[in-house]
Structure 1
């Protein structure tokens, strides 16, 4: 049996599996970053709610956006919501953010002017 004939297809399959498991390329999503309570956060965009963190069960890899006081609506102490864009790998079946590659805060007015977005009530 020729080991090379077997090894090449096996290596190709392993590479393909690891590429899909690692996730696709990050895509940019913009909308309301909602962090109403400790350990809970979502990005709400025109396609729905994307779970970033659920206290005690799930948290995406990567850094959350950093907001100034002018970019943040406080609701529960230091918690609340702001307008942001994240470049992230997401699971479209579960609506979970898997990994945040980058994140940036935006002025509140940008999300408030977008008719496809509804501001969180927290």
Structure 2
């Protein structure tokens, strides 16, 4: 994991409950046990706030933090989730091949969130 992702794992952005959420979605990686839940507040076609809760590895927490940074204030419904998140992760130093599961889980849960 790149150094800027390590920093996000140590000091996550968006790791909190969201009162008054309008959309929620969760997912789990059955192999490693990572669990992730996103909550969003959407108002007038804008994702005001994206927050998450996780019982997960540091890579998953870091990627979920990237999602909060990237998608807070984004147009709703979200589009281009995977490409935008991959770009944000790469800009912060990227993931090793052993950490790619974190990106897949976060993208999966965000796509579920956007479909709600």
Point out which structure has higher relative CO (alpha carbons under 8 A, 6+ apart).
2
Name whichever structure is richer in strand by fraction: 1
TM-score where L is the length of structure 2: 0.26
Name whichever structure is richer in helix by fraction: 2
Larger radius of gyration: 1
TM-score where L is the length of structure 1: 0.25
